[in-house]
Every structure is written in structure tokens, then in C-alpha cells.
Amino acid sequence: MAPFYKTGLFGEQISLLIAFFLGIGFGFWLERAGFGSSRVLAAQFYFRDMRVLKVMFSAIVTAMVGIVLFTIFGWLDISLIYINPTYLWPQIVGGLILGFGFIIGGYCPGTSVVGCSTGRIDGFFYIGGLMTGMLVFGEAYPLI
């Protein structure tokens, strides 16, 4: 039964190794889809290039169908999957902030790492802004 780590099939070191290779594979396919370019990502907001919507929508539907089928066949124990609780207003505000940064910078956090790893200057600046924002928020959070 998946998830394998929670069922004790392998330990923490193997799970980190698997996560590392999954991350590299995810970044590779993001770059192959063109998501390492801020121009491609920004074109989504101008309705010029809808590949981002197509890729993300098909990934979401594939994951949903996969989870349902794996549960039906008994390959996945869905009770072991953690689902974040819904806090509507904080998630709406966070989504708007993320979307605003996405529109201005042309990247989301994941695609900025892809852009940075392929040597795009705007990716480096975006990562710098991302890290600065996280530092400021982390230091200001106790005051909030």
C-alpha cells in the first residue's frame, strides 16, 4: 500500500533520495514544457499561450484519476494521505499575493528554480526576491 514511507517500506534516507530524484525529474519536465521561461508563463495571463493551463489542468486530472483508481484497486490507502484543512480567507489572500507576484515576476516559486537552474538572469532575481520575502515574513511573523 502506498504511500510507501508511511508504511515503513523504506527509511528516511531512501525517501530523501527518492524526493531528490523526483525533484530533478519534475524540474526537467517543467523546463521541457517551457515553464523555465517567464515569457511563456506571463503569456498565460495575456491569453496568448495557454500551455500552462493545459499542462496544469491535465496534471491535476491525471492525479485525481490515478488516486481514485489506485484506491479502488487497493494499491493506495487514502487514509494515509494528509490533506491540508481549508481556511478559506487566508488561502484566498495567499493565492492573491502569490498570483500578484507571479504576474509581476513572471514566475511561480517552482518555475523560478527551473529558470535559475538553466541560467536565466530573471530567475536569479526572482529567487533573490523570494528569499528576501521569506526572511522578512519569518522575522515579522511573531509581531503579526
pTM to 2 decimals? 0.70
Q: pLDDT in tens for each of the 144 residues of the chain?
A: 456 677 777 878 888 888 899 889 988 988 888 888 888 888 888 889 888 889 889 989 999 999 999 999 988 888 888 888 999 999 999 999 888 888 888 888 888 888 888 889 998 999 999 999 999 999 999 998
**So where are the chain's domains?**
12-143
Secondary structure (DSSP) of the chain: -BSTTTTTSS-HHHHHHHHHHHHHHHHHHHHHTTTT-HHHHHHHHTTS--HHHHHHHHHHHHHHHHHHHHHHTTSB-GGGS--PPP-HHHHHHHHHHHHHHHHHHS--HHHHHHHHHTT-HHHHHHHHHHHHHHHHHHHHGGG-
- Owner of C-alpha cell 484543512: 85
